[in-house]
């Protein structure tokens, strides 16, 4: 497990609208009620907070599988500047700079957010989640609607994601790379890219994965908890059964060239999110925000109002 980076907490009033605050919050102690109810113990997630107007709901962005808060740096800065809102990007457990845990369930990821958002004074928020982060966002909205003022699910739906056997291949490829110690990081990533290319032909996917390759004490390793993610892939691809709908505003923003959300998913979207608007971004694949950033921003800003 990686060592934590230096923590810096700044008072909100000392920040400009685009100044980030980096931190992890303390782990909340599990109460006896939590233990009886089987609630997962929340972890102190790594996050980046851009300051803004406190009278407006904050924007909270959750990344996808194998991602990190850094994937949304440009989008977060643009949203903070153009909306004047506070914008929070978060590393999910077992990703980025957040702690590792053997529990990779959506229930646990939601519990982390239920702990974090009130501590930062960001509830209720406008919650944006991509892929895995979208499923976490949907579950949080369904189970704790008072924390979510409105929801944006990016290219994902509340049903099982199919045709994703490639993810197990990605994990096996990442675990198999062999990088000599004490090599410059740029060279290490080039070598890792070459090794990954034998299995993963998609250059954009390799570049996405390689953002997780880091040097720790002269050794190269992945920031993600690959063993746990591999063990829980089926669970991550699924979505926990839910009965009660979320009545708040919701936007399902889909990639026009993506196959993650099919028309057959729409009835379940409508059942659980009766106020849902389903919108497609033309010529965008699964990473809508990266493929068509201007269209993504326009859709988000229009929905935020």
**Any idea which residues carry the catalytic annotation?**
131, 227, 286
Q: Which long-range contacts (CB under 8 A, 24 or more apart) does 170-179 make?
A: 170/66, 170/199, 170/200, 170/205, 170/209, 171/226, 171/229, 171/230, 171/233, 172/199, 172/230, 173/198, 173/199, 173/200, 174/209, 174/222, 174/224, 174/226, 175/226, 179/213, 179/220
Three-class DSSP category at 298 = helix
| Phi–psi pair at 14, nearest 5 degrees | -90, 0
Burial of residue 277 (number of CB atoms within 10 Å: 0-12, 13-18, 19+): middle
Angle ∠(188,289,24) on CA atoms, nearest 5: 65
Angle ∠(104,109,112) on CA atoms, nearest 5: 130
């Amino acid at each position: 497990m990686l060592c934590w980076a230096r923590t810096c907490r700044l008072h909100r009033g000392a920040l400009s609208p685009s100044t980030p605050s980096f931190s992890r919050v303390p782990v909340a102690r599990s109460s006896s009620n939590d233990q009886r109810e089987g609630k997962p113990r929340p972890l102190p997630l790594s996050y980046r907070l851009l300051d803004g107007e406190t009278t407006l709901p904050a924007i909270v962005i959750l990344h996808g599988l194998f991602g990190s808060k850094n994937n949304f740096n440009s989008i977060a800065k643009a949203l903070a500047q153009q909306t004047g809102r506070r914008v929070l990007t978060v590393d999910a457990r077992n990703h980025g700079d957040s702690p590792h845990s053997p529990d990779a369930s959506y229930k646990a990821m939601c519990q982390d957010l239920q702990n974090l958002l009130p501590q930062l004074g960001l509830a209720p928020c406008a919650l944006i989640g991509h892929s895995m982060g979208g499923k976490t966002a949907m579950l949080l909205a369904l189970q704790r609607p008072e924390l979510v003022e409105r929801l944006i699910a990016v290219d994902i739906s509340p049903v099982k994601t199919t045709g994703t056997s490639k993810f197990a291949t990605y994990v096996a490829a990442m675990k198999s790379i062999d990088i000599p110690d004490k090599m410059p990081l740029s060279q290490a990533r080039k070598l890792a890219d070459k090794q990954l290319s034998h299995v993963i032909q998609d250059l954009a996917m390799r570049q996405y994965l390689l953002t997780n390759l880091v040097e720790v004490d002269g050794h190269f390793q992945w920031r993600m908890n690959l063993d746990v993610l591999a063990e829980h892939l089926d669970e991550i691809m699924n979505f926990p059964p839910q009965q009660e709908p979320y009545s708040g505003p919701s936007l399902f923003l889909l990639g026009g060239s993506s196959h993650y959300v099919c028309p057959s998913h729409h009835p379940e979207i409508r059942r659980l999110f009766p106020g849902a608007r389903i919108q497609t971004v033309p010529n965008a694949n699964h990473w809508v925000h990266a493929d068509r950033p201007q269209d993504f921003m326009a859709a988000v800003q229009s929905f935020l109002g």
